[in-house]
Chain A
Amino acid sequence: MTEQAIVASGLGKTFNSRSDSAVTALTDVDLSVEPGEFVSLIGPSGCGKSTMLRLIGDLIVPSEGTVEVFGKPAAQARADRDYGMAFQKAGLFDWRKVSANIELPLELAGWSKSRRRERSAEMLDLVKLPDFGDHYPWQLSGGMQQRVAIARALSFQPKLLLMDEPFGALDEMTREHMQVELLSIYRQLRSTVVFVTHSIPEAAFLSDRVVVLSPRPGRIHSIIDVVLGDRETETRDEDTRESEGFFRKTTEIREALRSVEAQQ
């Protein structure tokens, strides 16, 4: 058996556990993610999907259970810089030029200046912003800023990419373009991705598996395999969105979310 990228067992998180206002954000989650897999977390607000992402990334400490990433505790994976992260807000540093933003993780990892320059140029090509390295973030549109944030997250080729609604603030058309680009980048770099979203088509289009969460307390409701054809050879592009298989998968996810709501 190959080593799993993520193994969460009995994972749970309760905030303010020692006070009256204790909130159980997530409980009893078991999930394994294979290396190279693209997994989305979807569910209504309060279902703990962002909490789960942060538990995997060791940004918060679990109240129960464990997370292992590439066979190590999450804290070790973080110390080893196995994670790349992107959020709904691009979160670029406005005092740094675009290329310097992309180079930040490389700086922290102690890369030389010339190697950093080389890599940030490659990344700018990859996210189709080759001429914007010397711009400041405010000179870029929201979609372009998000591409820079993704380039920053990927610049050091982390083994695991954690994304928290990275396209949530973008308009529908930009969003669809970004999804296609993300998939093509993901295929080139072959990293593992955990992607939080509340868009059904986005989850269906991007993912190998969609994890549907139910709220209060957050737990896994169901896991939906999204295979839109032969797993090895399948290609997803703009036409995929109009295909029969895609329609079936979005329906399946939608029905799962409806049954989540019906439970409330």
Chain B
Amino acid sequence: MRSRLEPLWPPIVVGVIIMSLWEGLVRLLKVREFLLPKPTSIASALGDEWTPLRTAGWETGKTAVAGLLFGVVAGALLALVVSRFSWLRGSVTPLAVALNATPIIALAPIFNAWFGITDFRSNAAVVIIVVFFPVFINTGTGLSEVESNQIELMRSLAASENTVLRKVRIPNALPFFLTSLRLAAPLSVIAAIVAEYFGGPQNRLGPFITQNASFSRYANAWAAIVVASAIGLALFAFSAVVEKISMPWKQGDPARA
């Protein structure tokens, strides 16, 4: 157990140092609260506003997780379909790239019109699209970048395309997919909150931040940001654990650890 928790110490120590410096400098330089609140003010705001923050965090978290789930499944499935039917590659992949080049958040008002301005699906739709792309591209890379000798070996054994997909391409793509999941997990929280700035239900982190900021209650806004980053961190940690347990062959491999 000792060895597992050991890597946690350096970031904690550095974090405490940064917080102390922040607190000290803000006090010393008499920085005004609306520019940069002290960590202690943020902590007490977190305590005072805990009930609405907990609700907002929970609801925003649900939007992020729902969008993440659908986006990941859609990205992985489409990558599978495209890799299996090569004639699709020329048409689908450029479209996906074009979609990614679109500033996705620009679509938020349109989703508000589709799903309703107070509907959480308007927010989740943005998350889905943001998450979809890295999963689709990474998984697609993993499915196609197989050692040519391995494909030749399978062909020499008279393996069908479906067998090659099942026995070679999918396991080969697994690390790529899991890396994209690790990228997409925190991205889903960012996307959810930014989408909430444009619409959706009001009891969420996005509206909480904008409303408190507009009333100059910056410590409250910062407290909401702390909650948001906690959710992002939790999702990241979850995907890192999934990564670890689903690839037992990487345990202890010094080249890939």
Contact = CB atoms under 8 A, between A and B. Distances in A.
Interface of A: 54, 57-59, 78-81, 83-85, 87-89, 91, 93-97, 104-105, 107-108, 136, 138, 162
A91 B146 CA distance: 10
21 contacts: A57-B152, A58-B156, A78-B155, A78-B158, A80-B158, A81-B157, A81-B158, A84-B156, A85-B152, A87-B152, A91-B147, A91-B153, A93-B150, A93-B168, A96-B249, A104-B157, A105-B157, A108-B157, A108-B158, A138-B253, A138-B256
A55 to B, nearest CB: 13
A24 B38 CA distance: 74
Given A59-B155, A87-B152, A95 B163 contact: no
A202 to B, nearest CB: 20
Interface in B52-106: none
B167 interface: yes
Given A89-B147, A104-B167, A95 B249 contact: yes
B196 to A, nearest CB: 40
Contacts of B147: 89, 91
Q: How large is the interface on B (under 10, 10 to 19, 20 to 34, 35 or more residues)?
A: 20 to 34
B154 to A, nearest CB: 8
A91 B150 contact: yes
Given A87-B149, A87-B152, A89-B149, A95 B247 contact: yes
A105 B154 CA distance: 8
Nearest to B255: A138
Interface string B139-182: 00000000101101101111100010001100110100000000
Most chain A beta carbons < 10 A, residue from B163, B174, B253, B256: B253
Given A89-B147, A108-B163, A94 B157 contact: no
Contacts of A89: 147, 149
Contacts of A80: 158
Given A108-B163, A136-B253, A138-B255, A93 B156 contact: no
A91 B168 CA distance: 11
Given A83-B156, A108-B159, 14 more contacts: A78-B156, A80-B158, A81-B158, A85-B156, A87-B149, A91-B147, A91-B153, A93-B171, A94-B249, A95-B172, A104-B157, A107-B167, A108-B158, A138-B253
